[in-house]
Amino acid sequence: MIIEGPIVRLRRVRRARPLSLAELASSLERRASAFSGDAAAMLRAQAMMARDPVLHDRLAGLIAAGRPFEQALAEAAASFGVSHQDVGELVRDALYEPASTPHPGYAYVLVADSLSVADMMRVDPAEVLGVVTAEGGPTSHAAILARSMGIPYLSGYAVSPELDVIRLELPDPSPVGIAPQRVPLLANISSPADLALAQQTGAEGVGLLRTEFYTDYASVAAAFEGKPIVVRVLDSGARDLGGRDLGGRDLGGRDENPLGVRGIRYLRARPSLLDAQLASLSGMSVSVMAPMVSTVDEARWFRARCARFGITDVGVMIEVPAAALCADEILAEVDFASIGTNDLTQFTLAADRQIGALSSYQDASHPAVLRLVEFVADAGRRLGKPVSVCGEAAADPALASVLIGLGVTSMSVAPAAIPAMRRALWGLGALGEGA
């Protein structure tokens, strides 16, 4: 992988007034909420250090003894004898800030002596081709954050001040890929935090918008303008209907019964709910799909309902084995299918995924599940219609490679899983340019 571009150097200036530890802590906590996984855990750990009661006591003691704040902070931090990057970063972020947030308006390679989490948070992943630092290693906080943002990060190299442009050849498989992908990597979105993270990690669209949890369609459309956005209409169960349909008939089954009135079955019992949702999606450039479809008739009904609202790109979730086995007939009625491997696995193995004792059955790599996936992917290929996967299986890099081999045309995963997936796909050659 080659990173090439103009250099922008990060410079720091002393703050007019040092930040207090409490200010540093709240700013780290705010940032943590926009991330998940390693990056969030690391930001929380760092915030915890800024709130450390023993550090505060020692700082107060040194200030009371007449030390200036800067010296007191450095001494108090050093008193733990922890040669820990977090402590150093805290002290530096308290005293210094970047001279300016680099937004030159073109793609660049960021060069710095060292980068803190705060520095890394300021850059726009869309503009940064890569990062080179003299200090820090692959496990530094800034490096972890860069990975989660999809930015290649190289540490341990001092860049000559005379250089204006840099060309780096990184070993393959590259730590992080930034090239367009042959198998698009999309994000599953259930919250505003997911949306923010999906943008940071460079998702190529939204493969599954879970509207039970998040319905700010305008924000999603603005964030991923010009990219695929797949909205799954309300995926809910009979419990939410008070157990009865519009005619007052008992819909039956216990709460959350996986074999009960759920998904499109529920929407057919309450079509006004679906209509209201379709009306609010009308006129937006999004695709819409129905959950838990099991018959051709349901697919046809859903397509017709969407057509009333001028929605033309219509798909179905394939989660029920019956739908997988009738993929040709169902795909003939709609424009695309998305395989939900979690439910497909629970239904294929007849094992309720809520029951802990049956967790070993929740294995999407079971040959029966993979055969169903292959069956659906084959039908998609025959009919020229895309077949994506949006279950947990898509986020398992090893299984994802199998799914791609079976003919799946795109993957949608939790935003936090995107960097790891991108690395795995890069290794497979499933990404674009390097492939």
Partner 1 sequence: MDVMVVVKESLHARPAAVFVQAVLDSGQAVGIARPGGAAADARSILSVLALDIRSGERVVLSGGSRDVLDRLAGVLA
Nearer to partner 1, 39 or 296 (CB): 39
Q: Considering the complex, what minimum distance in angstroms separates the CB of residue 415 from partner 1?
A: 20
Nearer to partner 1, 80 or 214 (CB): 80
Q: Considering the complex, what minimum distance in angstroms separates the CB of residue 133 from partner 1?
A: 19
Site residues (CB under 8 A) for partner 1, limited to 188-217: none
Nearer to partner 1, 3 or 42 (CB): 42
- Among candidate residues 205, 198, 154, 208, the one with its CA nearest the CA of residue 176: 154
**Choices 45-53, 97-105, 159-167, 267-275 (CB under 8 A): range interacting with partner 1:** 45-53
**Given candidates 41, 126, 222, 307, which one binds partner 1 under the rule CB under 8 A?**
41
- Tokens 């948070």 found at: 121
Catalytic-residue membership of 141: yes
Question: Mask: binding to partner 1, 49-88, rule CB under 8 A, as x and -?
Answer: x--xxxx---------------------x--xxx-x-xx-
Euclidean distance between CA atoms 399 and 99, whole angstroms: 45
Q: Are 382 and 146 in contact (CB under 8 A)?
A: no
**214-228 core/surface letters (b: 16 or more CB in 10 A; e: else):** bbebeebbebbeeeb
Q: Considering the complex, what minimum distance in angstroms separates the CB of residue 49 from partner 1?
A: 6
Residue 259 makes contact with partner 1 by CB under 8 A? no
Site residues (CB under 8 A) for partner 1, limited to 360-389: none
Nearer to partner 1, 86 or 319 (CB): 86
**Choices 43-51, 61-69, 249-257, 395-403 (CB under 8 A): range interacting with partner 1:** 43-51
The CA–CA distances, whole Å, from 45 to 25, 40, 41, 49 equal 10, 9, 6, 6
Question: Mask: binding to partner 1, 85-104, rule CB under 8 A, as x and -?
Answer: -xx-----------------
Q: Considering the complex, what minimum distance in angstroms separates the CB of residue 114 from partner 1?
A: 17
Nearer to partner 1, 53 or 171 (CB): 53
Of the residues 56, 306, 326, 390, which is catalytic?
Answer: 390
Query: What tokens appear for 258 in the block?
Result: 């996986």
Catalytic-residue membership of 103: no
Nearer to partner 1, 82 or 355 (CB): 82
Nearer to partner 1, 79 or 409 (CB): 79
Q: Considering the complex, what minimum distance in angstroms separates the CB of residue 44 from partner 1?
A: 6
Q: Considering the complex, what minimum distance in angstroms separates the CB of residue 148 from partner 1?
A: 14
Q: Considering the complex, what minimum distance in angstroms separates the CB of residue 419 from partner 1?
A: 17
Site residues (CB under 8 A) for partner 1, limited to 293-352: none
Nearer to partner 1, 53 or 367 (CB): 53
Euclidean distance between CA atoms 130 and 200, whole angstroms: 14
Of the residues 84, 141, 306, 326, which is catalytic?
Answer: 141
Nearer to partner 1, 38 or 212 (CB): 38
Spell out the SS3 assignment of the chain: CEEEEEEEECCEEECCCCCCHHHHHHHHHHHHCCCCHHHHHHHHHHHHHHCCHHHHHHHHHHHHCCCCHHHHHHHHHHCCCCCCHHHHHHHHHHHEEECCCCCCCCCEEEEECCCCHHHHHHCCCCCEEEEEECCCCCCCHHHHHHHHHCCCEEECCCCCCCCCEEEEECCCCCCCCCCCECCCEEEEECCHHHHHHHHHCCCCCEEEEECCCCCCHHHHHHHCCCCCEEEECCCCEHHHHCCECCCCCECCCCCCCCCCCEHHHHHHHCHHHHHHHHHHHCCCCCEEEECCCCCHHHHHHHHHHHHCCCCCCEEEEECCHHHHHCHHHHHHHCCEEEECHHHHHHHHCCCCCCCHHHHHHCCCCCHHHHHHHHHHHHHHHHHCCCEEECCHHHHCHHHHHHHHHHCCCEEEECHHHHHHHHHHHHHHCCECCCC
**What is the distance in angstroms between the CA of the first residue and the CA of the last residue of the chain?**
11
Q: Considering the complex, what minimum distance in angstroms separates the CB of residue 81 from partner 1?
A: 6
**Given candidates 2, 48, 126, 304, which one binds partner 1 under the rule CB under 8 A?**
48
**Given candidates 46, 133, 181, 346, which one binds partner 1 under the rule CB under 8 A?**
46
Q: Considering the complex, what minimum distance in angstroms separates the CB of residue 430 from partner 1?
A: 30
**Choices 2-10, 36-44, 157-165, 275-283 (CB under 8 A): range interacting with partner 1:** 36-44
**Choices 7-15, 44-52, 314-322, 352-360 (CB under 8 A): range interacting with partner 1:** 44-52
Q: Would you please indicate which residues are annotated as catalytic (active-site) residues? A: 141, 390
- Given the rule CB under 8 A, which residues bind partner 1? 38, 41-42, 44-46, 48-49, 52-55, 77, 80-82, 84, 86-87
